[in-house]
Structure 1
Amino acid sequence: MFFRRIMFSAVMVGMLTGILLSAIQVIGVTPILLDAEVYEVAGESVQIMPNMSGAESHHRDEAWGPEDGVERVGYTVLANVLAAIGFACMLLVAMSQFESRGLVKLTKLQGILWGLAGYFIFFVVPGVGLPPEVPGSSADLLEHRQAWWLLAVCGAAISLVTFVFAPVKFKLFGLLSLALPFVVGAPHFDGPLFSNPDANVVMALTELHQQFIVATTVSNFIFWIALGMSCAWMLKSSLHARL
């Protein structure tokens, strides 16, 4: 019964908040990405390769991506909803366990605080070491960045739980867990962020990169606040339904 209630709540909350995040991204984030992709495509190198007849042919390796417009928006919504359902599951389980032990109460304020906690753990701390990147940015290997992101998330989660709930003698451990990922160091590409030879393009991409960081910071803040409040409301509603 508990698992079914949590999954139903997570799906409902994830759908609502995932669509909300997608709407915010379409308005404030996607235009920045599209502008950056124009410079990325313009700066792609074209490889000249011989064909079977010995003549030269122009070839560009392109990874698959959804078409701009409805298809791209559809995949964005799907990805955001699925991610939101996963985050909602974790948040609902944690909130229900802490509430059952009398550590927190399911109020609107608590929902906001839980949302801020998720924002801090999953966006702020990892974003300090690995800021959001626009297309055309130079980056280290994906697996290195994923491993560091996971380390940062775990360190942030442990530190937050320690600071809020652990006795004073364990507070130092929370600080060390928060600092550990940055002591290890986030993996960065050894070179300039933008390798385009055109200085004007680099200047434009740098400005777009700064706008992208601000836009993603704001959109994720709204998303996590909405997610925390929605999870608290769903849990409170389900508890009242059982009474």
Structure 2
Amino acid sequence: MFNRIVATAAGAGIVAGLLLTGVQHLQVTPLIRTAETYEAAAQAAPAAAQAHEHADEHEHAHEHEHAGAQEHEQAAASAHEHGGEEHRHGGWEPAPGGERLFYTILANISMAVGYALLLAAALTLRGKPVDWRGGLLWGGAAYLVFFVAPALGLPPELPGTEAAPVVARQSWWIATAGATAAALALLAWGRHWGLKVAALALVVTPHLVGAPQPAVHGAVAPAALAREFIVASAVANAAFWLALGALTGWLHARLDRTN
């Protein structure tokens, strides 16, 4: 049983991860790159203003202090440039092109295999025959749990968008996904009307509490680009989850027949 779960998750995860990478490359990545140009321009503006201010100070300095002032300005500019690079990148990140694509594929496949393990384990514990159609339904449910419900409070964000602290957002995301999963289980398999009411309460409670918000809302990218990014992310995630569900169901049934 364990080997079947792992084999199913590996096969479905690799294919679905590659599919997600392809869809992202066509629809999502160009929008991120566009947003990064806005972010870079916004970060360059203060540097240009500071350089202009230094130039004015240098112009009005005494002539006999020219050499010392010039040396100080160069050191300040170098320090500012170094600090700007650290602020922009926040540490190491893969270079654009092949390196960035490689790490994107690696991250997507790792994530897909992890989610496929959850789906395969759930199908096994369910103990009923399933094919790709049943897996498609499970994938659709997972799409609601892991993307749609959290995105209602925390929609996908472009680079340069103000956001609440990471820990607060992650905690709310986990609570929302867990509550939505429990609600779907109660709606699908609960027989008593009280369980249906509890399911509805679970669905709405995280949104009544509200997702964590930044102290000041703001974004450097245009609002139209942000809306386009949300739609593109929703389409990419839908393709990913439906493919992952169908592949997991198909491989689960195939390996079950083989064994």
Q: Which residue of 1 aligns with 2:182?
A: 158
TM-score normalised by L of structure 2: 0.83
Contact 2:132 2:248 in 1 (8 A): no
- CA apart distance, 1:220: 0.5
- Any unmatched runs of 5+ in structure 2? 52-70
Q: Which residue of 2 aligns with 1:28?
A: 27
Q: Which has the higher helix share?
A: 2
Task: Indicate whether 1:176 and 2:187 are aligned.
Answer: no
- CA apart distance, 1:71: 0.7
Instruction: Name the count of aligned residue pairs.
Output: 227
CA–CA distance in structure 2, aligned partners of residues 19 and 174 of structure 1: 34
Q: What one-letter code is carried by the residue in structure 1 that aligns with 2:179?
A: G
Task: Indicate whether 1:115 and 2:139 are aligned.
Answer: yes
Once the two structures are superposed, the pairs formed by residues 60-75 of structure 1 within 5 Å of their partners are 60=84, 61=86, 62-63=89-90, 64-75=92-103
- CA apart distance, 1:189: 1.2
CA–CA distance in structure 2, aligned partners of residues 23 and 166 of structure 1: 39
CA–CA distance in structure 1, aligned partners of residues 131 and 116 of structure 2: 17
Larger radius of gyration: 2
Aligned-residue identity in percent: 34
Q: Which residue of 2 aligns with 1:12?
A: 11
Q: Which residue of 1 aligns with 2:250?
A: 233
CA–CA distance in structure 2, aligned partners of residues 148 and 237 of structure 1: 37
Q: Which residue of 1 aligns with 2:130?
A: 106
CA–CA distance in structure 2, aligned partners of residues 36 and 87 of structure 1: 29
Q: What one-letter code is carried by the residue in structure 2 that aligns with 1:236?
A: A
Give a deviation string over 1:147-201, Cα, whole Å, max 9, x none. Answer: 000011001100000110012221111111111211221011132332x4xxxxx
- CA apart distance, 1:73: 0.7
Task: Indicate whether 1:81 and 2:109 are aligned.
Answer: yes
TM-score normalised by L of structure 1: 0.88
Higher relative contact order (CA 8 A, sep 6+): 2
Which segment drifts farther, 61-70 or 72-81? 61-70
Q: Which residue of 2 aligns with 1:199?
A: none
CA–CA distance in structure 2, aligned partners of residues 222 and 138 of structure 1: 28
CA–CA distance in structure 2, aligned partners of residues 108 and 83 of structure 1: 21
Task: Indicate whether 1:192 and 2:220 are aligned.
Answer: no
- Any unmatched runs of 5+ in structure 1? 197-201
Equivalent residue of 2:134, what SS? helix
Counterpart pick for 1:220 among 225, 234, 237: 237
Contact 2:131 2:249 in 1 (8 A): yes
